[in-house]
Structure 1
């Protein structure tokens, strides 16, 4: 791990400041746990109209340099935010960032569906290029689940990695990361030549925090999870929403 990506002491994790005059940001936003609180199941998450408007207003204020980069399916992100020019990158960038990724193998998909059917209320989120098992409503099943997932990982290790997030395990193709999605975006307009900022909450956002640092930007961790590569912190999604509103006000005042 390079000096750029060493976890910083928690004492340094102050709330992020606003961009200085003439500074141009590109903002990348995770969804669950960052913009909205977690729900017992992914399909119970609510993105209210106020949040949609705030994200789209920020997108306009930053000249289009705002993206949602999430483990969710891109179709879910479209349902929440619409097809309005906002860049929506689902499945950690496998859908919407131009990263090459094949469908999850049928044997892995079948194994996870059968295991969860036999151990309710585990929940499979079958997304296409990635597949996740959620245990938020049954945390007591975590130990048995990780044992089963680890066995499957040994079989799939050549092409897939197993990620552990906030009450979720997920198989993801190797090379498909939020960092890679951000790197691809930063090569294109309107993101090119801007300072990248990543806002996220989970371990799957850590590679994105490292990537924005390499590009001269910084990460913002949402919630109490530590250690992290992020330089700044917000306590919860409510605070993220307030920060977005304040950032938008700042950008509008700067443009006036």
Structure 2
């Protein structure tokens, strides 16, 4: 495993297309999915960066588009639900249907959360998740339930920071980034993707294949990223510094 990765250079507004994970990258992780704090400075910075990049900024998140819009991200390009849906800044939309069997999984997850203290159920339009950050002793049972339901319905099991999620197989953040890179205004530009979790590795691999690079956020681990920033605060400062002092377009 690489022991050290350097920080990325400031954004090149003439050549880069910027892709950003949300939780753990732009905002600190919270015990509850609805407990994250999205500051006004971050919202303003993201919209200003999108303008400077002529729309070549996209959030790439496990959260659905509607939830991110509610945090102040309406008007930005977003790939939500781990790539199962995306929207460009011009309103172009692509989404998959809710997977068959997801209602059964939702019911089983909700029942599990109701009977295991500290486990939180998160319902999503195209998936379902259990969060066990507040009660990690239930993690193994959460993961086992997810695996059983995945086998029964053909879902993909997505592991994250003390959570497990079921979603449609065949889509991920890398697939979403590849799709968006085929379309204006992203086509023909170098992709840069920032993410913190193992769910972001598919994105790191895709941007590398597309001539760009990934930026790992947080503690060093085995990764396809080639740059690193240590925490959420450093990401916000990097974005703000790029906006105020990065190369002009």
Give 2:109's aligned residue: 112
Give 4+ residue runs of structure 1 displaced > 6 Å after superposition. none
C-alpha separation between the residues in 2 aligned to 1:205 and 1:83? 22
Verify: 1:90 aligned to 2:76, yes or no.
no
Q: For residue 29 of structure 2, give the secondary structure of its aligned residue in structure 1.
A: coil
> What does 1:21-100 correspond to in 2, within 5 Å?
23-84=14-75, 86-97=76-87, 98-100=94-96
Give 1:125's aligned residue: 122
| Structure 2: runs of 5 or more not aligned | 88-93
For residue 19 of structure 1, report the CA deviation from its aligned partner.
4.8
Of the candidates 10, 24, 30, which is equivalent to residue 3 of structure 2?
10
Structure 1 range deviating more: 194-203 or 242-251: 242-251
For residue 111 of structure 1, report the CA deviation from its aligned partner.
1.1
Q: CA RMSD in A?
A: 1.7
C-alpha separation between the residues in 1 aligned to 2:170 and 2:80? 15
TM-score of the aligned structures, taking structure 1 as reference length: 0.89
Give 2:196's aligned residue: 201
For residue 222 of structure 1, report the CA deviation from its aligned partner.
0.4
| Structure 1: runs of 5 or more not aligned | 1-7
C-alpha separation between the residues in 1 aligned to 2:18 and 2:123? 28
Verify: 1:254 aligned to 2:248, yes or no.
yes
TM-score of the aligned structures, taking structure 2 as reference length: 0.92
C-alpha separation between the residues in 2 aligned to 1:83 and 1:135? 29
For residue 110 of structure 1, report the CA deviation from its aligned partner.
1.2
C-alpha separation between the residues in 2 aligned to 1:10 and 1:60? 36
Q: For residue 182 of structure 2, give the secondary structure of its aligned residue in structure 1.
A: coil
Verify: 1:187 aligned to 2:182, yes or no.
yes
Of the candidates 217, 220, 225, which is equivalent to residue 222 of structure 1?
217
Give 1:154's aligned residue: 151
